């Protein structure tokens, strides 16, 4: 989300993926794909640089290892996680039935 300032000095956040065009008449007009138009104080060049910075942060975050992607939260310790050699085996529930997980995080 990028921050823009309306004419009444109210701060508003927009999803840059929803922006169709930015027009610079005497005021800057942002048009969204749903037809909504917002008149803002910020210049078009400033809004475009904020969009570029927002997308750069997303690309950078996507390139990080999985442990650091989600706002720096530490991974919770997992118990009873089988190693790679046990991946094809099934799990046993308390009732004695075999259960096979759909994903590796279902252990």
94 within domain boundaries = no
Q: Model pTM?
A: 0.60
Assess if residue 14 is contained within a domain.
yes
Instruction: Count CA atoms within 13 Å of residue 73 on its CB side.
Output: 5
Buried b (16+ CB within 10 A) or exposed e, 67-105: eeeeeeeeeeeeeeeeeeeeeeeeeeeeeeeeeeeeeee
Rounded Cα distance, 79 and 1, in Å: 37
Confirm whether 96 is domain-assigned.
Answer: no
Domain for residue 20, yes or no? yes
Number of domains in the chain: 1
pLDDT surpassing 50 at residue 107: no
Distance between CA atoms of 107 and 103, rounded to whole angstroms? 8
What pLDDT does 63 receive? 83
Instruction: Please give the pLDDT value at position 64.
Output: 77
Say if residue 58's pLDDT is above 70: yes
pLDDT digits 0-9 by tens, 22-53: 999 999 999 999 999 999 999 999 999 999 99
Indicate whether 35 belongs to any domain.
yes
Please write the tens of the pLDDT for every residue from 6-15: 999 999 999 9
Looking at the predicted structure, is the pLDDT value of residue 57 above 50?
A: yes
**61-78, pLDDT tens digit by residue?**
888 776 555 555 555 555
The range of the structural domain enclosing residue 34 comes to 2-66
- What SS3 class is residue 40? strand
């Amino acid at each position: 989300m990028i921050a823009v300032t309306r004419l009444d000095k109210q701060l508003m956040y927009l999803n840059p993926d929803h922006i169709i065009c930015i027009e610079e008449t005497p005021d800057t007009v942002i048009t969204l794909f749903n037809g909504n138009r917002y008149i803002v104080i910020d210049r078009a060049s400033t809004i475009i640089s904020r969009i570029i910075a927002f997308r750069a942060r997303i690309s950078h975050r996507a390139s990080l290892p999985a442990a650091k992607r989600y706002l720096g939260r530490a991974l919770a310790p997992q118990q009873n996680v089988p190693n790679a050699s046990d991946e094809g085996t099934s799990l046993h529930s308390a009732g004695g039935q075999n259960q096979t997980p759909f994903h590796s995080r279902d252990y």
